[in-house]
Amino acid sequence: MNQVRKILELHLQAQPMSLRTIARATGVSRPVVKSYIERLEGHPLDFVELEGMSDGQLNEYLGLEAPAVQSTPDNSVLLDWLASHVGRLQERGMTRRLLHEDYLRDHANGLQYSQFCFVLKQQYQAPESSSLLSHKAGDKLYIDYTGHKAVWVDGQGAGHTEEVFLAVLGASGRLYSTPSFSQKQEDLAASMVSCFEFLGGVPMAVVPDCLKSAVLENDGWEPMINPLFQQVMEHYRTVCLPARPKHPKDKALVEGAVNLVYRQILSRLKGMVFDDRAAMLAWWCVQVDRINLAAFQKLPGSRQSRFEVIDKPALKPLPATAFTLKAIHRQTVTATGVVYVPGDKTSYSVPYSLQGMKVEILSYPQSIEVWHENQRVAVHARQPQAGQVIQAEHRPPEHRWYQDRNKDELLRGLCLRGWHVTRWTQEVALRCQHEDQAWRLLMGFTKLADKNIERIDTVCRLAVKRQLWELRELKEILKSEEDLKLIESEQINQELPFHENLRGADYYQDQGAGV
């Protein structure tokens, strides 16, 4: 802004200087000097008014808030070219420098990179504010998977596609990357173990993206960590602090490192042939070391040198033993709702709703965990040679009812229906030679009693008197209505009133004595 003021002051003085003289005095090109002076034609201004304006007021008065793209032939050609090519900046791995190289292929004598970026920024890219994070030594490790997978070819000509795990230390920017078979929880755990070994220590916290293998749920405030990933964190005495959903700036370091892996590793991987996976991994480690040893463009040293000075002394030591998974099995849940662990020769139950579905079995020294779609669905204490280990809550409701049935409890309920019902049901239960036989008879009696609530005790009274212990005999009594006839006869005898003409036994005894 000082240069603009100087140009205007030299032009507004009593004896104005020529454009060429002003250009030499200010070190600004003559066309630019001309453009500023031409603005005075539409915005008249004298020397006193110029002195009384602040920089902001002068910018607003002359319309200089942002430097304008000049209408030169080269700029016009570039703007026409960008109209059909600027969208490529959204492609994975594309940068402004690569786009500039494509522009020069089409226009060999085109603008250089600095002017190319200036035109691009003024025409298409609005300024965006962002805070600069200050990273503490040994504090956070940012992890993620690259969107683009690694494709490599073995000596037999077979192609292999793998995920790419990536981790970056916050303070030094030291990078770790390795191919991984998948993003599943066990592969993520293995990648974390190898990452800690590569660093030679453990940071205070690990910041993952919202990966299901690391974070089951995340509302931005109280995340639910995947239990297996949590076990890894606890083993290495660190914590998981997931990045907030839809906030890529929470992990800007690893986002930038993704593009670095694209350009420095994946681009070189194309067309290469390796004897086996071990050879490919060895080559990959060399590329990672090359990135860490490369000098920074705008900072002193390299990622490796900054790591040695900043992060390494602050990392916590590794535990005595590395985190290990003894075994992982993938099975389809059987119709009986169990999975089989060969090492234990034992079947372990899973929730009945998973019958016919594929699950993963994680075997630890003391426990067995069953996972389905990145969620733990069952946990058992290991019981080798047990045959079957069944948890009651895993069985269907009807199976739980059958398994938990209690004959004595059923008898106690039936005893409330009457004294004769109690006598009959207890006798039947004693006569049965198997508990299933007794259960079936008692359940059949319960249904019969529910249909004949008022009559069942009298029916049992007749059955006990006649020694009848079968359900069909009770049904015959109900059908013939003998119980109703008995009740009716008892009611008649109870309701006969006293009458003087009625002679009882005492009367006839007295008559006999008189004779």
What are 82-95's pLDDT values in tens digits? 888 877 776 656 78
Superfamily of segment(s) 140-314: Ribonuclease H-like superfamily/Ribonuclease H (3.30.420.10)
Tell me the pLDDT of the chain averaged across its residues.
80
Tokens of 45: 């201004």
Name beta bridge partners: 254.
none
Cα–Cα–Cα angle for 295, 301, 305, nearest 5°?
Answer: 105
DSSP three-state, residue 318: coil
Relative orientation angle of helices 55-62 and 2-12, to the nearest 10 degrees = 70
pLDDT digits (tens, 9 = 90+) for 48-79: 676 767 766 777 666 665 556 677 888 888 88
- 481: DSSP letter: T
Q: How far is CA 310 from the centre of its chain?
A: 33
Could you tell me which residue, 238 or 452, shows the higher pLDDT?
238
pLDDT digits (tens, 9 = 90+) for 241-293: 888 776 666 567 777 788 888 888 998 888 889 999 999 999 999 999 999 99
Could you tell me which residue, 68 or 459, shows the higher pLDDT?
459
- pTM value > 0.75: no
pLDDT of res. 193:
93
Could you tell me which residue, 462 or 417, shows the higher pLDDT?
462
Residue 427: which pLDDT band, with cuts at 50, 70 and 90? confident
Alpha-carbon span 485 to 506, nearest angstrom: 30
pLDDT digits (tens, 9 = 90+) for 365-419: 678 888 888 788 899 988 888 888 888 777 776 555 455 555 666 677 677 777 8
Evaluate if residue 200 carries a pLDDT over 90. yes
Which amino acid does the sequence have at 476? E
pLDDT of res. 236:
93
Evaluate if residue 128 carries a pLDDT over 50. no
Evaluate if residue 461 carries a pLDDT over 70. yes
Choose among 76, 93, 81, 5: nearest CA to 45.
5
- Taking a C-beta distance cutoff of 8 angstroms, is the pair 274, 153 a contact? yes
pLDDT of res. 239:
92
Alpha-carbon span 257 to 175, nearest angstrom: 8
Per-domain boundaries in the chain:
2-62, 73-124, 140-314, 327-401, 407-495
DSSP three-state, residue 319: coil
Q: Sort strands 375-381 and 367-372 into parallel, antiparallel or unpaired.
A: antiparallel
Alpha-carbon span 192 to 196, nearest angstrom: 6
349-355 mean pLDDT = 88
Highest mean pLDDT among 170-184, 403-417, 456-470: 170-184
- Taking a C-beta distance cutoff of 8 angstroms, is the pair 22, 51 a contact? no
Name beta bridge partners: 112.
none
Give the residue carrying structure tokens 């996972």. Answer: 371
Tokens of 11: 């032009």
Residue 327: which pLDDT band, with cuts at 50, 70 and 90? low
35-55 mean pLDDT = 71
> What Rg value do the Cα atoms of the chain yield, rounded?
45
